[in-house]
Amino acid sequence: MWINPHPDFNPEKPLFVCILANTETAKIPNISAAGKSPQLTDYTPAADAELVETGNAISINEPAMTPSGAPTPAVLTRASMLLTGIPCLFINSGLRVRPMVPTIDINAMPGGDIRKGHAVVDALDIYKKSQALGKKLGKLSDFVIIGESVPGGTTTALGVMNALGYDSKVSSSFPDNPLDLKHRVVSEGMKSARISFGSLKNEPLRAVECLGDPMMAATAGLVDGLGTKTVLAGGTQMVSVLAVIKHLGLKRDVSIATTRYVADDASANFREMTEMLGYQAFAADPGFGSSKREGLRMYERGDVKEGVGAGGAMFAAAMMGFSQKEFREKVEEVCDSIFGAAIS
């Protein structure tokens, strides 16, 4: 099934928001595939935004793909925006590299390495600025899908989930999920922050400050401010935001949409976690197994899986009546124009 369950929303003024942030955590060797090298992950969110907006990852001089050659999930997001015509706004919630396309700056500092135990500067301030922005956007849109681009973000997600008391297994942009490494990183961070498993369950924003990343505070604040129907577009990173929202006691009409690759990732536990937290979850299958492009077929083998709100972007396309085939063909078209039709 293309989207499971099928979305039955019919919004008048849908909006897609993509929240961008960097965390030094991404520079720990072998932790993230979201960039050609750990150092280059600084450029990934900016390049993703540029690719979604213009079809060209202006800030990087090379093809926007993982080291193994799978294209950035930004191509899925761009395909959906082109198909649906839904406007997409980008939020800079702590970037080292600013995108060369219009981006809403909420003045957040980039995230630090969570091994030090203080990863986010003033999560409440980020939350409040994003909440204020959400209040405005909530007057313009009746349905908001929120994606993210944060290299290293599944590790910060694991950190926050553990600090809140969840034995979450997070997904990965690598086919082989480096879960041992992630657990070691989180353990080190907990030690530095002098916290333990579940010890911050009543202080979710403090959990973000110790072991999270700035995107989490921005997304939770945005959901709060919007007050409208909202879909978080992402995998285990957005599950951690749902946990933050739940532990803040926020009552909002929020659900989550991700790709089948995350939902079915046996090394993670997306479905169990969303069920345990009590939020509706959607899984989108782009059917890349039958794609003509090798790079997209790599998604079927576990590369990339999700990011830049790709799952939510598919959700949006389905909501607007586009079929899996129409979506996949549009993604191929986007890839052809970026990477060339001949190259995989």
Binding residues vs its own copies (CB under 8 A): 13, 15, 53, 85-89, 92, 98, 100-107, 129-130, 132-133, 135-137, 139-141
Least distance (Å) between residue 253 CB and its own copies = 19
Minimum CB distance to its own copies, residue 28 (Å): 29
CB 159 within 8 A of CB 114: yes
Closest distance to its own copies from the beta carbon of 160 (Å):
23
Distance CA 275, CA 344 (A): 37
Residue whose CB is less far from its own copies, 290 or 337: 337
Q: Which is nearer to its own copies, 4 or 54 (CB)?
A: 54
Buried b (16+ CB within 10 A) or exposed e, 111-123: bbbbbebebbeeb
Cβ closer to its own copies: 186 or 319?
319
Q: How far is the CB of 14 from its own copies (least distance, A)?
A: 9
The closest of 153, 258, 241, 162 to 205, measured between CA atoms, is 241
Q: Whole-angstrom Cα distance, residue 220 to residue 218?
A: 6
Residue closer to its own copies by CB (options 226, 239) is 226
Angle at 188 between CA 23 and CA 38, to 5 degrees: 35
Query: Which run of H or E residues covers position 16?
Result: strand 14-20
Quote the least distance from Cβ 171 to its own copies, whole Å. 30
Amino acid at residue number 319: M
What burial class does residue 251 get, using C-beta atoms within 10 Å of its C-beta: 0-12 exposed, 13-18 middle, 19+ buried?
exposed
Q: Distance between the two ends of the chain, CA-based, in angstroms?
A: 26
CB of 240 to its own copies, least distance (A): 23
Is there a contact between 146 and 230 (Cβ–Cβ < 8 Å)? yes
Torsion of Cα atoms, 109 then 234 then 196 then 249, to 10°? 90
Q: Which is nearer to its own copies, 109 or 181 (CB)?
A: 109
Q: Which is nearer to its own copies, 28 or 95 (CB)?
A: 95
Residue 130: CB minimum distance to its own copies, A? 8
Under DSSP, the state recorded for 249 is: T
